[in-house]
Structure 1
Amino acid sequence: MAKQPMLKFTNVERDMPEKRAPNLRKEDFNEIYAEYAEAKAKEQSSRCSQCGVPYCQTHCPLHNNIPDWLRMTAEGRLQEAYELSQATNTFPEICGRICPQDRLCEGNCVIETSGHGTVTIGSVEKYITDTAWENGWVKPIVASHERTESVGIIGAGPGGLAAADFLRRAGVQVTVYDRYDRAGGLMTYGIPGFKLEKDVVMRRNKQLEEGGVTFKLNCAVGEDISFADIRAAHDAVIIATGVYKSRDLAAPGVGAQGVVRAIDFLTVSNKKSFGDDVPQFTDGSLNASGKRVVVIGGGDTAMDCVRTSIRQGATSVKCLYRRDRANMPGSQREVANAEEEGVVFEWLSAPKGFTGEPVNGVMVQKMRLGQPDATGRQAPELIEGSDYIEEADLVIMALGFEAEDLPTLWDCPDLPVNRWGTVRADYITGRTEAEGVYAVGDIVRGASLVVWAIKDGRDCAEAIVKQFNSASAIAAE
C-alpha cells in the first residue's frame, strides 16, 4: 500500500522559504524570500490536511484548487500541479508573491486554527509556476480558432491583462490601450521589486504580445485617442483603468515642497529600477536618500513606501497610522518585514498639518480608539493637548486611491458611475448600462487586490465570449 503523502502537519512544522537578512536585503530591490527547493516544497505541501470543505479555496477570490495542487506537489507531480493552478489563475506566480495570503487562503487554513501553523500556500504557488517557466511548461498563447470580433481594453493592469489572455485564447482580436510606456499597471510601476521583481511581469507581457495581443502604450484616453474612437473600433470595450487618483488631506501646509503622493514616489522608484532616466529622482524631489521620511497611512501602499525609502538610503523612516496595529488594513507580514528593516511605526497618530517650505515637519495629533463605527472598526478619537512635531524632509501621503472623473475626462456622459466615481457594472459579467461597454477591477470595486482584478478580468472575458457566441448563433439562424 502506498505511503500517505499528506496530513503531515502534526509532525512537520510550518517553514517559510529562507528570508534574506534585513541588513542585506535593504541594500537592493531584489525579492526578499528565496525559492523553495523541490524537497522543501514537497515537505510543506504534505502538511495539507486535504479538508472535505477547503476554506483556503473558498476564501480565494479565484477559488483556486489549492488542496489538489498541494497534493500533486507533495507527490512530485509538478507539471500537473502547474496546469491545475493555471486553469483558474492567469498569473499564479504573481499572486504567489503579492497576495495577502495571511488574510485569504492561509489565514483560513484549517490546521492554522487548530494551532499547527498554516500551510505555506503562497510560497508553494510561486514555486510551482517558477518551476513551470524554467522547464518550458508555460506554453505560448494559441487561439482555439481566430474570430472576427475585437475587444478594446483600456488599462494594462492585472484585470485588463487577465481579460486579454482569456479573450486571445478564445480567438478574439484584442487591443490594449495604456497611458504608461510599459504594460502591467501597478504590478509594473506601483509594487516595488522586493515584492515583485519586474522580469516576472515583463515575461507575462511578452507572452501576451507574442500570443497576438496588440499593445498601444503611451496612449492616454481622452488625450491621444478618444473613448468614442475606441468604441467605434471594437465590438466591445473593457474599462480596466484601476483607480489612480490619490486621496487628499485637507490640512495646513499640504502643498509644501516635499509633501508628495505615494503613487508618484513609487512610480519614480520603479522607473529608476528599470534603468530609466528619471529627473524627479535625480533632482531629489522623489528620492528619499539622506532624508528623514514620514509616511502617512496604514495600507500595503504605505508599507511599499516605507520599505522603498529604507532602500533609497533615508536617514530615518517613520509611519504614522491613526489606528493601532491590530486595526491597520495592511498585511501584518509586511509590517513585520518593515520593522525588521528599521521602520518605526507611530500607532494612533494622525497628521494635523505640515510645517516649513520646503517641509520640515509633520504636526501630529495622538489618537485613542473609541466606539466602533458603522463597519465595526473602532473609530479613532483625538486626545486633546497631545500634539507634537515630527521632523521630516520628505512626507509621503499613502491615504488610498479614488476613481478619476472618467465621464468628463473621456467626454462620455453616458458612462454610468456611482457617487464615488467608480463605474457601475455587474459584478459577475462586468457589463455596464452603456452598449458594448464593460468594466473590471478597481474601477468598479474601488482600490482592492490584484487577485480580485484577475478574477474580474477572467469573468468579464468569459461573458463577452458567450455574448459573441450568442450573437453568432442568432445571425446563423
Structure 2
Amino acid sequence: MTRKMLQFTHIHQRQPDKRGAAERRGDFGEISKSFAPPQAGEQSSRCEQCGIPFCSLHCPLGNNIPDWLMLVAQGRMEEAYAVSSATNTFPEICGRICPQDRLCEGSCVLEQSTHGNVTIGAVEKHITEHAFAEGWVKPLLPGADLGRSVGIIGGGPAGLAAADSLRRKGYAVTVYDRHDRMGGLLIYGIPGFKLEKEVVERRVRLLAEAGVTFVTGCEIGTTISFAELRGKHDAVLIATGVYKAKPLGIPGADRPHVHAALDYLITQNRRGLGDSAVAPELDAKGKSVVVIGGGDTAMDCVRTAIRQGAKSVKCLYRRDRANMPGSKREVAHAEEEGVDFVWMAAPDSVTAEGVKANRMHLGMPDASGRQSPVVIEGSSFTLPADMVIAALGFDPEDVPALFGAPDLKVSKWGTVEVNDALMTSLDGVFAAGDIQRGASLVVWAIKDGRDAADAIHRYVSAKTARQAAE
C-alpha cells in the first residue's frame, strides 16, 4: 500500500507495543514487540521529509532516514533495506539499542514542534527483520580478492563493522578476540531484554559465510605476540573496546559484596547463553541490591537484578532525573519493572549493612557545563544492601603493556592515540571504537569501524603501489 507523507497532522505517534512489566520481569526476552507492516507504514508516513533532515544530521552514521521512511510508507521494503544497510552495517542492532531519544528521534522536527517524533528506531528494526524474513539479507562476497590481509583485534561492533567493510573490498580478514564468542559487548555486555543474542549471532554467521575468519580465545601478547600479528598481516586494527571499571573510590569498595557492572552483566549473559560456570555471588536472587551510577550500564544492571528475582533494587544517582546521562526510555522501563531511584544522593562508603550515602544539591556548573553535585551537610543515610554494583563507566586497559608494544602511544586517559587517518604511532596499525574514542555508543563504534576500514584500504593501496614501483 502506497501512503502519502506528512501525515503527522492526523496520525498520532505510536511506539510498538511492549510486553507488560509483570511478564517481562520474568525473562530476558526483548520487551518491545515488532511493528506489523501496516503500523510501520503508517508511522513512516508521519515523516515531514524536511529540507534539512536533522534526524540524519544527528545520526553518527548519517543514515538516510527520510529516504527509507518514505520507501516504507510506499511499501517498497527491499529498497528501504538497501538504503538502510548502505550506511549502517548493523541496522537491526541500532534499531534496538541506539538511544534514539538522544539522537535521531530527539532531533526530529516533529518532536521539536510537539507533534511527537517519528518512531525511527522501531521502523529501522522492522525494515531489517522484514528483509531477513524475505531472504534479502545475504553475505556479500567481494568481486575479487586483493591478495592482502588485515588482522582485527576485537570482535565487538567496531571490529565487526570494519571486518564487513574490508571483506567487501576484497581483503582476507581475520578477527581475533579473547572471548569464546564474537560480538564483544553486544554479546556479553548488553542484556537480552535489549538485544537478544541470536540477533548478533546471525550477523556473525553472515560475516563468516562472506569469508571473514574468526579466532576466539586469543589473547594478544600471550596466545600470539603483537609483533607476530603485525608480521602476518598488511595492516592491523585495534578495536578492543574499554573494559576496565572506573573505581568507586570510597571506603569499603573492596568488600566482597561489591561488584563491577561488567562482571555482573557478563555473568548473566553467559548464563543466558547456556554456559555452565556461573558465579553464585553475582546472582541477585533474594538480595537487596543497590546500583551506583546513572548511565545506560546502570540501567542494564538494575533491570537485570529485577529479572534475577532481587528482593529490592535501588539506583543511587548523585544528580536529578533531568541530568541523568542514561536514556530516559530506559529509566521509564526500569521504573515500570519495579526499580526504585534514589536521586540526588552520592555514596560515601560501603559497609557490611549497605551503602552509606549523603544527600546532594546541584551547585555551580563544572567544566562540562553541568551543575556540580554538592554534599548537604548532616544528610547522611544508609541503604541496606546485600549486593552493591558499581556502574560508573569504563576506562581503557593498558594496551601497550598487554600487547607488549611499548611504542604504541596512548593519551593521558589511556586511549590509543591516532592521527586523522585513524593510524596509531605504529606504521600500519590503526585503532577504532572505544579504545581510541573512550567509552561511547555502539553506533559510534560502527561509524569508527567503517571509517577505519576506508583508512586501511587507502594505506594498503598506497603501500601496494609503492612496492610495485620499486
Shorter-chain TM band? over 0.9
* SS of aligned partner of 1:285: helix
Q: Which runs of 4+ in 1 moved over 6 A?
A: none
* SS of aligned partner of 1:9: helix
Corresponding residue to 2:452 among 457, 460, 465 = 460
Corresponding residue to 2:290 among 288, 291, 294 = 294
Q: Which residue in the other structure is 2:301 paired with?
A: 305
**2:242 is the alignment partner of 1:250:** no
Corresponding residue to 2:434 among 428, 442, 446 = 442
For residues 244 and 110 of structure 2, the distance between their equivalents in structure 1, rounded to whole angstroms, comes to 41
For residues 355 and 40 of structure 2, the distance between their equivalents in structure 1, rounded to whole angstroms, comes to 46
Q: Which residue in the other structure is 2:380 paired with?
A: 387
Corresponding residue to 2:464 among 436, 460, 472 = 472
* SS of aligned partner of 2:101: coil
Amino acid aligned to 1:457: G
Go from structure 1 to structure 2 and tell me whether the alpha carbon gap of 1:276 and 1:338 turns closer, same or farther (over 3 Å shift).
Answer: same
For residues 143 and 62 of structure 2, the distance between their equivalents in structure 1, rounded to whole angstroms, comes to 25
* SS of aligned partner of 1:279: coil
Residues 112-127 of structure 1: matches in 2 within 5 Å? 112-127=111-126
For residues 114 and 71 of structure 1, the distance between their equivalents in structure 2, rounded to whole angstroms, comes to 20
Go from structure 1 to structure 2 and tell me whether the alpha carbon gap of 1:54 and 1:364 turns closer, same or farther (over 3 Å shift).
Answer: same
Q: State the shift of 1:210 in Å.
A: 1.4
Residues 206-217 of structure 1: matches in 2 within 5 Å? 206-217=205-216
For residues 468 and 79 of structure 2, the distance between their equivalents in structure 1, rounded to whole angstroms, comes to 39
Deviation digits for residues 144-186 of structure 1 (CA, Å, limit 9, x no counterpart)? 2111111110000000000000001111011111010000000
Moved more, 249-258 or 414-423: 249-258
Q: Which residue in the other structure is 1:180 paired with?
A: 179
* SS of aligned partner of 2:250: coil
Q: Which residue in the other structure is 1:57 paired with?
A: 56
Q: Which residue in the other structure is 2:44 paired with?
A: 45
Q: Which residue in the other structure is 1:133 paired with?
A: 132
Amino acid aligned to 1:453: A
**2:370 is the alignment partner of 1:377:** yes
Q: State the shift of 1:37 in Å.
A: 0.4
* SS of aligned partner of 1:94: helix
For residues 105 and 406 of structure 2, the distance between their equivalents in structure 1, rounded to whole angstroms, comes to 43
Residues 256-275 of structure 1: matches in 2 within 5 Å? 256-275=255-274
For residues 468 and 408 of structure 1, the distance between their equivalents in structure 2, rounded to whole angstroms, comes to 27
Residues 56-205 of structure 1: matches in 2 within 5 Å? 56-205=55-204
Amino acid aligned to 1:423: V
Deviation digits for residues 167-219 of structure 1 (CA, Å, limit 9, x no counterpart)? 01111011111010000000000000000000000001111111111111011
Amino acid aligned to 1:156: G
For residues 2 and 154 of structure 2, the distance between their equivalents in structure 1, rounded to whole angstroms, comes to 49
Corresponding residue to 2:339 among 340, 343, 348 = 343
Corresponding residue to 1:314 among 305, 310, 313 = 310
* SS of aligned partner of 1:200: helix
Corresponding residue to 2:351 among 343, 349, 355 = 355
Q: State the shift of 1:329 in Å.
A: 0.6
Name the count of aligned residue pairs.
469
For residues 443 and 248 of structure 1, the distance between their equivalents in structure 2, rounded to whole angstroms, comes to 18
**2:322 is the alignment partner of 1:326:** yes
* TM-score, length-scaled by structure 1: 0.97
Q: State the shift of 1:476 in Å.
A: 4.1
For residues 3 and 238 of structure 2, the distance between their equivalents in structure 1, rounded to whole angstroms, comes to 48
Q: State the shift of 1:226 in Å.
A: 1.4
Amino acid aligned to 1:150: S
For residues 32 and 107 of structure 1, the distance between their equivalents in structure 2, rounded to whole angstroms, comes to 21
Amino acid aligned to 2:73: A
Go from structure 1 to structure 2 and tell me whether the alpha carbon gap of 1:3 and 1:303 turns closer, same or farther (over 3 Å shift).
Answer: closer
Q: State the shift of 1:466 in Å.
A: 2.1
For residues 110 and 132 of structure 1, the distance between their equivalents in structure 2, rounded to whole angstroms, comes to 28
Q: State the shift of 1:237 in Å.
A: 0.5
Q: State the shift of 1:469 in Å.
A: 2.4
Residues 235-246 of structure 1: matches in 2 within 5 Å? 235-246=234-245
Q: C-alpha root-mean-square deviation of aligned residues, in Å?
A: 1.2
Q: Percentage identity across aligned positions?
A: 60
* SS of aligned partner of 2:406: coil
Q: State the shift of 1:111 in Å.
A: 1.0
Deviation digits for residues 264-318 of structure 1 (CA, Å, limit 9, x no counterpart)? 00000000001110230xxx20000000000000000000000000000001000
Deviation digits for residues 394-448 of structure 1 (CA, Å, limit 9, x no counterpart)? 0000010000111112111110101000011135x32112111000000011100
* SS of aligned partner of 1:142: coil
Q: State the shift of 1:463 in Å.
A: 1.5
Q: Which residue in the other structure is 1:11 paired with?
A: 10
